Amino acid sequence: MKRPRFDLTEGSVIFHVRRMGMAMGWGIVAMNIVHFTGMWFISRLGHDHLTAISFTLPVVGFLFFMILAMSSGMTSAVARAAGGNRIEHTARTVTSGIAASFVFGLVMMIVAYAIQDRVFRAMGATDALMPLIHDFMDTWLLCIPFMCVTIVSNAGARGAGEAGLPALVMIQLAITNLIFDPIFIFVFDMGMQGAAIATFLAYGLAMLSALWIGIRKLHLIRIRTLRNIQKTKRALRTWWSVTGPVSIAYSIEPLSTGILTATVAKIGLGAVAAYGVVTRVEGLALIVLMSLWGAVTPLAGQNWAAGKHTRVRETLHVAAVINTVFCLCFAAVMWLFAEHVAAWFSSETETIRLAAIYLSIVPVSYIGFGASGLVGSALNGIGRARWYLVANSARVITFLTFAVYGAHAFGFYGFALGIAAANLLCGFVIGMWSRRVFLASGPV
């Protein structure tokens, strides 16, 4: 069976981090394009349609987080199999993981369809908006199995060391969605349902491309490897040992966002608008940070399984340097141009003022936030996802405590200071604690 084109246990660590990070970055940009183009086209339909699609975002986001958890599990499991030079087991892991993710996708689709009315009603959706929400969700939910297969297939390729081809799949997704959206929304006059159909078709084509790459280009999908039932079960357990804890960790994030929004709402509507602005700006920084995190997981997994622990520490060091340099540059730009950046998103004086305060204080603390993410990605890569869950839960609790107390004591200024302090403290503590992990010996 053919070995992957890139062996992450050999060659320059800096080269691998740069290559995989850049490819991940393009994939993340493509995903954001899919999200924003859909929102933009739907907003052209009218205020009610934009309001309806806004109600769907928390549900869509939660489901997507669950798919990303499966993706993390796949990257980790495949990286450790590839790093241990278990070529057939690598293919078995990818093949069984894709099949399992499709089944999980069907389950999520059925459950979401069954409870969506109660969820949207609980969120405050009115009778007038429910038909519009159903126009979108009833079709969009059909995408979930396709999304699972596409994203998990790409994760398997990255775990084997290939980053460019998965990025091309996501770029294809963005382009086809951009083409289909106006056709189905406006030309066929299908409105909200048209947007969902466009996404369904775009993901269907992306899934076919991802499967073709896995079968024909990388030789990672082999049905015959599933004949050994015991080894297949072992592969699935390895995949789930990361997927399970990560899914819990990811589910915490929407909850923390809700608490932060509620905290800011007590300060005033201007603060809520400002927080909405800064989260959009933070999304730009997250593209780079998430790209680094995505590069660390397969590098850590392959090298840890190969017994090359020094390369794991070198990977973390290289990524940490890139993280620090980027965050300092981003913070400097925000400090100098915070008001101008905020003005891109709002014309309200109070919103701009508060957003500028946040953007002048918090971005430098992304160094700590990024460092926490790097450690978490490495922990997932070496199979210690439960430790990642503990570390991430501690980070979120600290983050919320500092932010809520700061907002209560000093208003929006204290809110920003609390977030910055929590990011830096958690980054330092998690970074120091991780040294005990990555100076240990023995693959997981």
User: pLDDT by residue (tens digit) across 42-90?
Assistant: 888 887 888 888 788 888 888 999 999 999 999 999 999 999 989 999 9
Residue 76 lies in a domain: yes
Final residue of a structural domain among 222, 243, 264? 243
Q: What is the reported pLDDT for 37?
A: 83
Residues 66 and 161 reside in one and the same domain = yes
DSSP assignment letter at 9: T
CB 299 within 8 A of CB 161: no
Residues 107 and 219 reside in one and the same domain = yes
Residues 237 and 127 reside in one and the same domain = yes
What does residue 268 show for φ and ψ, rounded to 5 degrees? Answer: 150, 165
Taking CA 19 as the corner, what is the angle to CA 313 and CA 431, rounded to the nearest 5 degrees? 30
CA distance 351 to 359: 12
Q: What is the reported pLDDT for 443?
A: 45
Residue 90 lies in a domain: yes
Residue 444 lies in a domain: no
CA distance 52 to 62: 17
Q: What is the reported pLDDT for 35?
A: 80
% of the chain at pLDDT higher than 90: 72
Residues 45 and 157 reside in one and the same domain = yes
Q: Domain of 366?
A: 272-438
Q: What is the reported pLDDT for 370?
A: 95
CB 278 within 8 A of CB 266: no
Final residue of a structural domain among 196, 222, 243? 243
Q: Which residues of the chain have pLDDT under 50?
A: 1, 442-444
pTM here is 0.90
Burial (CB count <10 Å: 0-12, 13-18, 19+), residue 32 = middle
| Mean pLDDT rounded to a whole number for the chain | 91
Q: What is the reported pLDDT for 444?
A: 43
Residues 172 and 211 reside in one and the same domain = yes
Residue 262 lies in a domain: no
Residues 296 and 158 reside in one and the same domain = no
- Name the token pair of 165: 């081809």
What are the pLDDT digits (tens) for 329-369?
999 999 999 999 888 877 788 888 999 999 999 999 999 99
Q: What is the reported pLDDT for 259?
A: 85
Residue 152 lies in a domain: yes
Residues 232 and 291 reside in one and the same domain = no
Residues 19 and 161 reside in one and the same domain = yes
Residues 54 and 128 reside in one and the same domain = yes
Residues 200 and 238 reside in one and the same domain = yes
Rounded alpha-carbon distances, angstroms, from residue 35 to 149, 173, 226, 239, 431: 19, 11, 36, 28, 33
Q: What is the reported pLDDT for 1?
A: 44
Structural domains of the chain, count: 2
Residue 3 lies in a domain: no
Residues 106 and 165 reside in one and the same domain = yes
In which residue are the tokens 């993410």 written?
Answer: 373
Residues 288 and 237 reside in one and the same domain = no
Residue 260 lies in a domain: no
Residue 6 lies in a domain: no
Final residue of a structural domain among 223, 243, 263? 243
Q: What is the reported pLDDT for 5?
A: 59
